Amino acid sequence: MKISKRPFGPFLDVPCDDIKPAGFKCRECRHPVEKLAKVLPNLVPRMFFYSCKCGMVTTWEDEAQPQGSRVWRLNTNLLKRSGAKVLIFNGARKLSAGFSGIN
Q: Which residues bind Zn ion (CB under 5 A)?
A: 26, 28-29, 52-54
Which CB atom, from 54 or from 57, has the smaller least distance to Zn ion?
54
State the nearest-atom distance from the C-beta of 16 to Zn ion, in Å: 20
State the nearest-atom distance from the C-beta of 42 to Zn ion, in Å: 32
Q: How many whole angstroms from its chain centre is CA 5?
A: 18
State the nearest-atom distance from the C-beta of 53 to Zn ion, in Å: 5
Q: Are the C-beta atoms of 6 and 16 separated by less than 8 Å?
A: yes
Which CB atom, from 54 or from 86, has the smaller least distance to Zn ion?
54
User: What are the residues whose beta carbons fall under 8 Å from the beta carbon of 85, sequence distance 6 or more?
Assistant: 9, 10, 55, 56, 79, 102, 103
